[in-house]
Amino acid sequence: MTTTRYAATRDDYAAWIEAAGEPSYRVQQIWDALYTQRRPLEDATNLPASLRTAVAAAFPLALTPTLERRGDHDQTVKWLLTAADGLQVETVLMISPGRATVCVSSQAGCAMGCTFCATGQAGFDRQLHVGEIVEQVLVAAHASSERVSNVVFMGMGEPLANYDATWSAVERLHGDLGISARRITISTVGIVPGIRRLAREEIPVTLAVSLHAADDDLRSSMIPVNRRYPLTELIDAAHEYARARGRRVTFEYACVEGVNDQPEHAVRLAELLRPMGPLGAHVNLIPLNPTQDYAGRAPLGSRIREFAELLADHGLNATVRRNRGTDIDAACGQLRERATAPDDATSARMQP
């Protein structure tokens, strides 16, 4: 099987260089170009052109950019990337002064079936390989005006349901691309054994838990996997993570009008997270993004702010997330491949 460019290890390049009869210092040059300088191989001018061509042929890219959309005055860019088997995933770059964040997909589709999520509505296709995850970051890095400083696993898929590839990607991003551990965020729907396993890993990444409801009945109606890993177990695992790392866990809470945005929901949320202690939890309130198969909508901004204030009154640290990319369907939960859906009214907008 072909080893793709960002799946290949330094040893893979070394073996190839040796077999090609090239001097061994070429390995370091290739590695520097790919990971330190973060350049496309074609731009690695320290390598002879013939060698660049040969390396490119031996270690092909895993993903082909199929289309690209820009929003927020080019500060948000979304790509639809096509893998060798034709499956498509989405990657988003968000640039702000002095920082750039890449939101990567960990699976093609998702099997978790969260009702409000576009990816969940479309179902699961397959696991992504480590090279496909790392390559998404490089596609974005090559296009970014700022050096990529942060990576969030908040694109398509549930990272802890593809644990091994996700963790290998984290090791590459941290070790080879030099992204600091706290600037790598794994967002999970709440796979409890995965969270406990993460707590024992050497790289202390930031953990985000998608909570969205503070009681089991409501949460199970939005997030089916809550029946398997109910709230008490989930909070216990998150607490274990916070203790192991000495750092707080982020809890994402997508606000849906009339569903989870009432004052009693805020009080219940504060009670649920109380065992985490004042330093252990941070709540990130996200106005729900509209998706095709879910009727709920975001509350008014004033209600979300009241909700945040109520949490603060109960000792919980909360912020409201500014939505980016809603104009290009790149905001949370809107990542869904639409370009090939001819009956989808938005497909015309997706053409390059």
Pick from 119, 150, 166, 289 the residue near ligand SF4 by CB under 6 A: 119
How would you write 287-343 as a 3-class SS string? ECCCECCECCCCCCHHHHHHHHHHHHHCCCEEEECCCCCHHHCCCCCCCCCCCCCCC
Task: Kindly give the pairing relationship between strand 63-71 and strand 76-83.
Answer: antiparallel
112 binds ligand SF4 (CB under 6 A): yes
Query: Which of 27, 81, 100, 189 contacts ligand SF4 by CB under 6 A?
Result: 189
CA distance 91 to 178: 20
Structure tokens at 108: 């093609």
Nearer Cβ to ligand SF4, position 126 or 243? 126
The residues, any chain, with a CB within 8 Å of residue 10's CB and separated by 6 or more, are 27, 31
- CA dist list (Å): 130 to 70, 153, 198: 26, 13, 17
Indicate the SS3 state at residue 37.
Answer: coil
Pick from 102, 110, 152, 256: which binds ligand SF4 (CB under 6 A)? 110
- DSSP single-letter state for residue 161: G
CB 192 within 8 A of CB 233: yes
Distance CA 250, CA 167 (A): 19
Binding range to ligand SF4, per CB under 6 A, among 108-116, 258-266, 272-280, 287-295: 108-116
The tokens describing 131, both together, are 């090279």
Known active-site residue 171:
no
Binding mask 2-31 for ligand SF4 (x = CB under 6 A): ------------------------------
Nearer to ligand SF4 (CB atom), residue 55 or residue 214 = 214
252 interacts with, out of ligand SF4, ligand SAH, none, CB within 5 to 8 A per kind: ligand SAH
Q: Which of 7, 8, 61, 120 binds ligand SF4 (CB under 6 A)?
A: 120
For ligand SAH, the binding residues (CB under 6 A) are 116-117, 154, 158, 187-189, 210, 252, 254, 286, 288-289, 291, 332-333
Of 298, 269, 5, 315, the closest CA to residue 129 belongs to 5
Least distance to ligand SAH, CB of residue 192, Å: 14
Q: Which is nearer to ligand SF4, 114 or 238 (CB)?
A: 114
Query: Which entry of 90, 132, 135, 337 is annotated as an active-site residue?
Result: 90
| C-alpha distances in Å from residue 79, one per residue of 91, 140, 147, 183 | 5, 9, 18, 22
Among 135, 158, 261, 329, binds ligand SF4 (CB under 6 A): 158
The nearer residue to ligand SAH, 4 or 185, going by C-beta atoms, is: 185
Q: Which of 83, 95, 114, 331 binds ligand SF4 (CB under 6 A)?
A: 114
CA distance 72 to 326: 9
Smallest separation (angstroms) from ligand SAH to the CB of 10:
30
103 among known catalytic residues: no
Least distance from ligand SF4 to the Cβ atom of residue 114, Å? 3
Q: Which stretch binds ligand SF4 (CB under 6 A): 83-91, 114-122, 272-280, 304-312?
A: 114-122
Q: Which is catalytic among the residues 110, 114, 117, 332?
A: 332
CA distance 225 to 208: 16
Show the tokens assigned to 73: 């005055």
Q: Binding residues for ligand SF4, per CB under 6 A? A: 110, 112-114, 117, 119-120, 157-158, 189, 210
Q: What are the residue numbers of the active site?
A: 90, 332
